[in-house]
Structure 1
Amino acid sequence: MRKIALTFIVFSVAMLILISVSFNIKTVEATDSVNYRIEHVDHTIEVMRNGYILINDTIRIVGNASAGTVLDSFHIGFPYKYGAHVLHCVAYNGSDIIGDVKFNVPLDNRMGFYAIEIDFLQPLDVSNGAENVFSVGFILSNNLLNASSSTQYVLDFPAYPSLAKPASSCNVTMFFPDSLANITITKDDGAVNRSTYEIAPLPEFTATSAAADFALTSDKLRVFSVNELTREVTVNEAGEMSGADSYYITSKEPQTIAAIEIILPANASVISAHDQFGRKFAQAPTFVGNGGVNLYRIAFPLSLESYKSTRFTVKYSLPSWYISALDGSNGFNVTLPLFLQMDYYIESASVKVTLPEGTRLLNLEGVIATNAYSLTRNIFQESITINRQGVSCLENLYPAQNILQIAYEYNPLWMSFRPTLWVLTLSVIGCAIAAVWKRPRAPLTAAVPAIAVKLRSEDIKAFLDSYEDKRKTILEMDNLEALVKKGKIPRRRYKVRRKTLEIHLDTLTRSSAEIKEKMRAAGGKFADLMRQLEVAETEINEVEANIKSIEARHSRGELSLEAYRKLLADYQHRKEAANTTISGILLRLREELR
């Protein structure tokens, strides 16, 4: 009897606990259930300075569910054709990230859509009458923007967001780097001649594309990719800071690009631009910023050709207030913003901070917050490098990852290290010279003057003509190989044409080799240029051999498709860099003819 009573008591207590817990648990509903309505959507499209697209959707929802009901996820998307152009996405409210984003998910199992799912970090209250406002930012590639001139463009973009529920209203606004001269937006539900339009209501599962044909009043918008940005910041012994931003960009429009606009750290001064060989640009960078953005216009000495790449470096000084002293010690703290206020998209970016010789790091917490860094220690010096992929204006939403703080200790006695080392070195050299001077001297022998080879401008011109013809012949042979692989020309015709090109290439190689020897004999800068040219040519030959090797291994099944693509991209990047070096050498030789 006692066992039965004890069992009944335990069972009753368990049931009471379960019932009390069930009253305190909030109901969590699926995204597409009928527990809220979408009151309004602000759909903004901003064209960034290098042609990438920022789409920002601000959504206001009103709950109509029972008390305690929350929403844990939300879906939003575009017509499916835009999915291949989505580079980055963030869900936020103000300056706070509100959820994790899952890419390429179904939109209520409907076909023809590319959607993302937001898993809210803090589920939204959708009780009856409760309002919630949040934003979703997308970065889309600049392949959607086509330039017909330096100021006339056509943009393909999603006219409205695609939602699983209807919205009571939707306002659409477009923003551009400069004032509009004219605009025509063509879409399925009618054309407009202004940068704003609206729809009410916005049906669920809307899949409407639009094309904006517009012209700007200036050339502030240029279509190009920032493949790499390497920022090097150096702190010297006196606490002075200097920086150098090295850009590798590729044009993606049919016109030449004479100038672009870039953003530098706040309060940068003494600014100069240089090409990849270190030569200073004739025209100094011009400040064109406003509203606290440190924006500068960089004018190239030679316009960047259509669909070609170039490298350049912008050097500057930074104010001392980026460095603060720590109380009661020889400690200092460097506070450096990384990628704030970026109005263009950067595929790969890195920041390297080099500290003075003799520095001892005290704190790396600010560096660890970025999640991707490396620390390099030399004998006397340390440097920190931070790497990022896909940098854009959305980085402003991650302030903890965009403020670099480095605490270090530096003894001022290290300031005398280099001068002392130089004095010791000069003393040793002086003693060695004195010892040699006092040594008995051998009889002087008559020196035979070296015969200098005089280089004529006709030789340089002949070399340039021959080398350019050689590069065109190699390009024609590559195109011929591509045509025969695709079966667009007969094999017999291919063999005859290739034999002709090989004979012509052999003749050009011999003629350019003779002039190359003259340039080596001339010495000085010409000999140095020829050495650089040989290194670049050797690099290209090695890369082409490696490409043939991986193609053979891939065809035999020894190399996976992913590994093959990765190696091929690396080799093509090396080949492009070598070709850029050769183009620079030829450009310097042309300058000698002026």
Structure 2
Amino acid sequence: MIKVKFYLLLVVTFISISIPSAYSINSITYDREVTLHSTGLILLKDRISELDGSNRTVTLKLPRGLAENLLDYRAETVDGLNLNVRIVEFTENETMVEVMDVTSSSITLLFLVNGSALTGSTDTFTIYVPIYPGLNMDIARLNFTLTIPRAAIFEDYPSDFNISAGRLWLIRENLEKNAFRVEPVSIAESPLIDVKEFSKTITVSEHGDVIVEEFYRIVNLGSSASQIIFTLPANACEVYAKDEFGRLQSSTKTEGNTLTLTVKPRYELRRGDRYSLIITYKFPAGLIVEHHLFKYSHKLSMELGSALPIVAEYLRVNLKLPSYSTIVDVKPENYTENDGILSWTLESSGHGLVLSPIRQPPILTLNYNYNVLWSSFKPILWTLCGLVTVVIGYYVYRARVVKTVEVIPKVRAPVATKEISEFASAYEEKLNLRREMRELESNYLAGNISKAEFSARSMKIKNRIAELDKVIENLKPTIRLAGFLDELTSIEEAEADLSICDVGLGELRSRYRSGKISKHVYERLLNEYNKRIRTNESKIRRALEAISSS
């Protein structure tokens, strides 16, 4: 009897050891990838594999600082099925996250954190990064990676980490259930580009090309930035960037299925600097929309994502179709139309964000009718073609039966040398007075002359310029009748741009004095205006030389 009891005890012990507990899986692999984006967002991407799929609840932990700045989070299976995730408990330093009804052998969790709220206002900042996840199961292998922007560097990090090319990584095996580790990591020289405004404009050409313009209004919250990196689809072409003054220096590089666009702003963006720019790219005909010669119905379908990783609660989209297009149906439906341009303002619903790096962006779907043949050769052009044919036939007939009449070359009417000299002298004196006025304003702003002296001298200069303007206007009809219409047009265009520069300089100095822009921004924009002024003055002098030498 004693032997029977002993054998029964051995069997029970063997069975209890052989059957795993509900929270002990020795083969689980946990991959955690933490990425600090240049826009200040922190993305935690966790992949848990080798689960037993027994309809269990999975729990893990996050530092409370990260959890309080969560912008978005979700979980999905390997088949793309969304799982129910909730924040269930806050303690002093930790937050519990619960994923329910897990029946898959592999799941992915995504957490998006507002990193800008954690970095502070210094060039070097510290982020408390969760290394071990606090999973309610044993982990056979943990693979951890932390990636930062290209320009940033690691200032301080745990001694047991490995480092290579802007990346920290760590491998650990046989972690016990609920193992949780948080470590401070100090990062320096990282730009944090906060996108204050984002909008998208899409234009479909008559041939089916799709041109996309993305507008960004940004503020740099981090270290000084001399470049901004955008990520576009690999099949985008004719990519460039511009600001209010024109095109910006940029370069592109294809990496896998993406195209990396590196843009250099017109000046280095320091902490607190604001900047606006537009990136433009094109999808050739056939990639998104196909326009064939005899095809009448067309479909446009494209994602409305951003080339920067950003979050947005609303999104403005404009769409321009070829002339004479007829809309059949469109999604989203809540659009307005003005002068042939369709406009949407997409607002958040459900999870609270229109754009999020961890979710599918909105999709614009449009079916429309467009006759390539008829619209490319509009009715008025058909009529003009007929008229041109008749006119050509008539002149061919006249050329055969009518004698050729010798054409007397057109010559310019003579004009008095004295009037040309007066016109050129008046303009030259006016240009010199404008330059003297700008120097006077600079000396006044620098405190080199008093306000009374500035007022007296500037009034004298303005009165003399007004007198010269009367002389110039009186001489213009004579110069124009003499055949110098192109030269006068060139002078008037340059004069108009000089006036615009004068107004812009006044506004620039006003914003600088009121502290709305920094000194280095003021100096760079001042140089831009001075270049335009010199260009226009040279343009006027070339026109005057052409008039004087005739």
Query: Is TM-score (shorter-chain normalized) higher than 0.5?
Result: yes
1:249 deviates by: 2.1
Deviations 1:107-150 (A, max 9, x none): 3x6443234444x5xx334xxxxx6321111122343458998x
Alignment of 1:241-280 (within 5 A): 241-255=210-224, 257-277=225-245, 279-280=246-247
What secondary structure sits across from 1:407 in the alignment? Answer: strand
What secondary structure sits across from 2:529 in the alignment? Answer: helix
Q: Is the 8 A contact 1:248 1:309 kept in 2?
A: yes
Q: Distance in 2 between matches of 1:325 and 1:184?
A: 56
Q: Distance in 2 between matches of 1:385 and 1:581?
A: 33
Which residue does the alignment assign to 2:129? Answer: 158
Q: Is the 8 A contact 2:267 2:521 kept in 1?
A: no
1:394 corresponds to which letter in structure 2? Answer: I
Which residue does the alignment assign to 1:224? Answer: 193
Q: Is the 8 A contact 2:192 2:223 kept in 1?
A: no
Alignment of 1:123-134 (within 5 A): 123-125=101-103, 132-134=105-107
Q: Distance in 1 between matches of 2:446 and 2:379?
A: 48
Q: Distance in 1 between matches of 2:179 and 2:456?
A: 67
Which residue does the alignment assign to 2:94? Answer: 113
Q: Does 1:588 align with 2:548?
A: no
Deviations 1:301-357 (A, max 9, x none): 3222333111112223321011035999611111323328x5633546544321122
Q: Provide closer, same or farther for how the CA distance between residues 110 and 223 of structure 1 changes in structure 2, counting only shifts above 3 A.
A: closer
Alignment of 1:16-415 (within 5 A): 35-37=22-24, 39-60=28-49, 62=51, 70-71=55-56, 74-94=58-78, 96-102=80-86, 105-107=87-89, 110-118=91-99, 123-125=101-103, 132-143=105-116, 144=118, 155-160=126-131, 162-163=133-134, 165-169=136-140, 170-176=142-148, 185-186=157-158, 191-194=160-163, 195-197=168-170, 198=172, 200-202=174-176, 204=178, 206=180, 208-213=181-186, 222-255=191-224, 257-277=225-245, 279-281=246-248, 283=249, 285-321=250-286, 322-324=288-290, 330-339=296-305, 344-347=309-312, 349-364=315-330, 367-368=331-332, 374-383=334-343, 386=346, 389=353, 391-395=355-359, 398=360, 401-412=361-372, 413-415=374-376
Which residue does the alignment assign to 2:3? Answer: none
Q: Provide closer, same or farther for how the CA distance between residues 589 and 176 of structure 1 changes in structure 2, counting only shifts above 3 A.
A: closer
Which protein has the larger Cα radius of gyration, Structure 1 or Structure 2?
Answer: 2
Q: Distance in 2 between matches of 1:56 and 1:161?
A: 13
Q: Provide closer, same or farther for how the CA distance between residues 63 and 537 of structure 1 changes in structure 2, counting only shifts above 3 A.
A: same
Q: Is the 8 A contact 1:41 1:167 kept in 2?
A: no
Deviations 1:373-411 (A, max 9, x none): 75222354545565675745423xx2xx55433111123
Q: TM-score of the superposition, structure 1-length normalised?
A: 0.58
Q: Is the 8 A contact 2:24 2:177 kept in 1?
A: no
Q: Distance in 2 between matches of 1:377 and 1:581?
A: 38
Deviations 1:495-517 (A, max 9, x none): xxxxxxxxx9x999979997997
What secondary structure sits across from 2:438 in the alignment? Answer: helix
What number of residue pairs does the alignment pair up? 429
Q: Provide closer, same or farther for how the CA distance between residues 528 and 177 of structure 1 changes in structure 2, counting only shifts above 3 A.
A: closer
1:518 deviates by: 9.1
Q: Provide closer, same or farther for how the CA distance between residues 200 and 334 of structure 1 changes in structure 2, counting only shifts above 3 A.
A: same
1:363 deviates by: 2.4
Q: Distance in 1 between matches of 2:358 and 2:446?
A: 44
Q: Provide closer, same or farther for how the CA distance between residues 509 and 265 of structure 1 changes in structure 2, counting only shifts above 3 A.
A: farther
Q: TM-score of the superposition, structure 2-length normalised?
A: 0.62
1:70 deviates by: 3.6
Which residue does the alignment assign to 1:473? Answer: none
What secondary structure sits across from 1:588 in the alignment? Answer: helix
Q: Distance in 2 between matches of 1:585 and 1:508?
A: 28
Q: Distance in 2 between matches of 1:414 and 1:138?
A: 49
Alignment of 1:455-474 (within 5 A): 455-463=433-441
Unaligned runs of 5+ in 1: 1-33, 126-130, 424-447, 470-503, 545-574
Unaligned runs of 5+ in 2: 1-20, 385-421, 470-494, 535-550
Q: Distance in 2 between matches of 1:381 and 1:402?
A: 19
1:231 deviates by: 2.4
1:83 corresponds to which letter in structure 2? Answer: A
Which residue does the alignment assign to 2:416? Answer: none
Q: Provide closer, same or farther for how the CA distance between residues 77 and 383 of structure 1 changes in structure 2, counting only shifts above 3 A.
A: same
Which residue does the alignment assign to 1:561? Answer: none
492, 499, 520: which one pairs with 1:527?
499
Which residue does the alignment assign to 2:546? Answer: none
Q: Provide closer, same or farther for how the CA distance between residues 183 and 310 of structure 1 changes in structure 2, counting only shifts above 3 A.
A: closer
Q: Distance in 2 between matches of 1:508 and 1:77?
A: 71
1:250 deviates by: 1.8
Q: Distance in 1 between matches of 2:160 and 2:138?
A: 21
1:299 deviates by: 2.0
Q: Provide closer, same or farther for how the CA distance between residues 508 and 264 of structure 1 changes in structure 2, counting only shifts above 3 A.
A: farther
Q: Distance in 2 between matches of 1:357 and 1:581?
A: 42
